[in-house]
Structures are given as structure tokens and as C-alpha cells.
Amino acid sequence: GENVEQHPSTLSVQEGDSAVIKCTYSDSASNYFPWYKQELGKRPQLIIDIRSNVGEKKDQRIAVTLNKTAKHFSLHITETQPEDSAVYFCAASNAGKAAGNKLTFGGGTRVLVKP
Amino acid sequence: DVKVTQSSRYLVKRTGEKVFLECVQDMDHENMFWYRQDPGLGLRLIYFSYDVKMKEKGDIPEGYSVSREKKERFSLILESASTNQTSMYLCASTSRDEQYFGPGTRLTVT
């Protein structure tokens, strides 16, 4: 089955700096890669996703890049703000393969933005 | 707005007890999931269901079972709770890609 590894496990950045989280996946058939943000005490929520036919996607201060050959994808947050402090999860799935849209998640990255 | 609710936010049970966790979604989603969340391990899939009365094992199904008798409701059952099942349990539902999560149930087994 799919295996997703996520690094680093914790990341501390100064407000205004950039943050980068990296994930690798094992199943070359995976074609959908979402990122979820979980604020303290709250439920995970989707913040951005990318499909395998696209190399990069941006949404305001966040962007995701995908390298299918190397089987890795990354989340980039620019101009970090205190409200970006949260745990971020990457995930991968083969969206067309099996019923249920099963996701395999990485271990999570705790991001702390210091004012 | 999609709403996914879980029956309890906090639950304390004793070893050997049978535990029921219930999840309800109001968006007519076909697919529902149960995860457990542990620090450093991310979200690990226990079971999922893509239709009423259908279920599939996830990555860590041992010690758990599920039931989906109605489309909106997906129950997780711990037949005989053990201390290593102390965790945060999250339910999610989806019709396509984005998974919508419930608030979670923090289960402590003593």
C-alpha cells in the first residue's frame, strides 16, 4: 500500500519568513495530493490540493509543488503569520482507483510562527 | 456548510468494555471514514465505507469493527477496549475529494 513520509516533524519560523514542508510517497499510481491544516483543538481542514497532471498550484500565500519523477511534493507558506501556527498534514491517494477516495496521511508537521 | 458530528468529545472507558463511537454527516456523502490520531503518527485509517452496509479495512483495523446501516451514520465499535486504544478518533466524510472531519472523540481507556 501507499506510504507517505513527512518532514520536518516540527518547524519554528519567525513571522514574515517562509515555511516549507516536504512529503514523499511510495505508490507511483497516486494522483491526488491534498494538504490539511489542524489548528489546536480543532478538526483538520483542507487548505490546498494538487493533482498529478499539474506541477504547481498557488492560493494567496500558500503553494504546493509536485515532482512525480521523484515522488515528492511540498507545501510552501510565504510571509508567515501567527495564524499559520498549526499542524499540517500531507496526504496521497489514487483518486480513480478504488471506491471510497482513501487517503494516506503523513505524520504531520507542527508549525510555530513566532511574532 | 457540511456538518459532521461525533457522539462524544471526551470518553473514559475501562479495559474490556465495549465502546461505540458514532458519526453523523448531513451532506448525503457516500464515503465515510474512521481515523485515529496519535502524535507523530498522523491520521491512520481504521475503516472506511463507500456505501450503506459496505465496509473496507483501512491500515489498522485490528481490535475495531464498524457498522453503516444508514447513509448518514457510521459507527466505530471497540469490542473489548484496551489501553493501547487510548487515542483521538476522527470521523470524516466525502463525496469526491475533500474530506470533511468531525470534531473528534478523545477516548481514554483505563
pLDDT digits (tens, 9 = 90+) for B20-54: 999 999 999 999 999 999 988 899 999 999 989 99
Mean pLDDT of chain B: 94
Task: Kindly state whether A82 is in contact with chain B, defined as any CB-CB distance less than 8 angstroms.
Answer: no
Stretch A77-98: mean pLDDT: 89
Percent of chain B surpassing pLDDT 70: 98
| Cβ contact A103–B41 (<8 Å) | no
End-to-end CA distance of chain B: 37
* Chain B residue at shortest CA distance from A93: B97
Query: Measured between beta carbons, which residues in chain B are less than 8 angstroms from residue A59?
Result: none
Least Cα separation, residue B81 to chain A (angstroms):
24
Stretch B55-61: mean pLDDT: 94
* pLDDT score recorded for residue B62: 96
Task: Kindly state whether B46 is in contact with chain A, defined as any CB-CB distance less than 8 angstroms.
Answer: no
